[in-house]
């Protein structure tokens, strides 16, 4: 990734920050994009102390103009975007009986429209240069599994994969790939907020008996962003410690 210009949305914290750490360690010219400027600037400063080229740009992924402006600022400084990691997303719990139209619209605006706006902004330059890597942060929840309270979240993560498969075909002949990583349960600040009992119950259902780290997601994305993955497009990688493997609870001891 040496000097590859890599733009990561939602990279101020959580999975995004773990992805950013991995790419920074591999020498990427890293641009952290997030709506939280204070935390985003702090994350960029932390990673830059390791000697990498890291900067922050503000972005509100629900706004197409904001996404376009963020990408334009990167192009003005670096001339290109080699890799887009479309990671910005939210996962608020809302049970079906209480879920409102506003709940539904907000999560789709961030998780799905935000992804579309960012891909739309970087794709022309990638197609013109005949090279580009786009990696999406989807989830096992929605495309493969479900969990009470996250029907709207699961719908967004499944929608991302539907978008990916058709979009990947459109840009395939121009050297641009679009793939996705599907995290299982990852230990982030948000997960820690669910409480230790919740975390322990999840870990018990995973063959590896532990939750993943944000960096685990970053390593998979690093491969998909590499030249070695140039013949892979429209595909997904599940990173879940084997959580989807058991036929039932009795298979995990």
For the segment 18-57, what is each residue's pLDDT rounded down to a tens digit?
A: 999 999 999 999 999 999 999 999 999 999 998 889 999 9
At 125, list the tokens. 């330059």
Is the pLDDT reported for residue 161 higher than 90?
yes
Residue 236's DSSP bridge partners are 180
Residue 8's DSSP bridge partners are 32, 85
| Average pLDDT of the chain, as a whole number | 95
pTM, rounded to two decimals: 0.95
99 contact partners, CB below 8 Å, separation of at least 6: 151, 152
Catalytic residues: 153
Encode burial over 50-71: b for 16+ CB neighbours within 10 A, e otherwise. eebebbbbbbbbbbbebbbbbb
Q: Where are the domains of the chain?
A: 5-238
Residue 35: the pLDDT is 97
112 touches 156 (CB < 8 A): yes
In the block, residue with structure tokens 């978008």: 163
pLDDT band at residue 3, thresholds of 50, 70 and 90? Answer: confident
In the block, residue with structure tokens 């960029």: 44
Taking CA atoms, 30 is separated from 75, 180, 186, in Å, by 13, 19, 23
Read off the DSSP letter of residue 240. Answer: S
- The alpha carbon dihedral of 56, 58, 63, 67 has a sign of negative
pLDDT tens profile 93-116? 999 999 999 999 999 999 999 999
The CATH classification number of 5-238 equals 3.40.50.720
Residues in the chain: 253
Q: Which helix (H) or strand (E) holds 136?
A: strand 132-137
Q: Which helix (H) or strand (E) holds 75?
A: helix 64-78
34 touches 70 (CB < 8 A): no
Rg value, the chain, Cα = 18
| Residue 28 phi, psi dihedral angles, 5° rounding | -70, 150
């Amino acid at each position: 990734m040496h000097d590859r210009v890599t733009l990561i949305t939602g990279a101020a914290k959580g999975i995004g920050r773990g992805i950013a750490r991995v790419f920074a360690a591999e020498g990427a010219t890293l641009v952290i994009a997030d709506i939280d400027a204070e935390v985003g600037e702090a994350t960029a400063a932390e990673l830059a102390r390791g000697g990498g080229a890291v900067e922050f740009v503000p972005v509100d992924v629900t706004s197409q103009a904001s996404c376009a402006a963020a990408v334009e600022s990167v192009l003005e400084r670096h001339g290109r975007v080699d890799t887009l990691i479309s990671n910005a997303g939210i996962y608020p719990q809302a049970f079906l009986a209480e879920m409102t139209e506003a709940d539904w619209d907000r999560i789709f605006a961030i998780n799905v429209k935000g992804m579309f706006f960012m891909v739309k902004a970087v794709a022309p330059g990638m197609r013109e240069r005949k090279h580009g890597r786009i990696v999406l942060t989807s989830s096992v929840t929605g495309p493969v599994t479900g969990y009470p309270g996250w029907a709207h979240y699961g719908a967004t993560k499944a929608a991302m994969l539907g978008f990916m498969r058709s979009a990947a075909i459109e840009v395939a002949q121009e050297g641009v790939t679009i793939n996705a990583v599907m995290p299982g349960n990852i230990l982030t600040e948000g997960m820690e907020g669910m409480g230790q009992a919740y975390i322990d119950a999840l870990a018990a259902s995973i063959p590896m008996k532990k939750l993943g780290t944000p960096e685990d997601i970053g390593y998979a994305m690093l491969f998909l962003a590499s030249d070695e993955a140039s013949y892979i497009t429209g595909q997904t990688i599940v990173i879940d410690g084997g959580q989807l493997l058991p036929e039932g609870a009795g298979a995990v001891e």
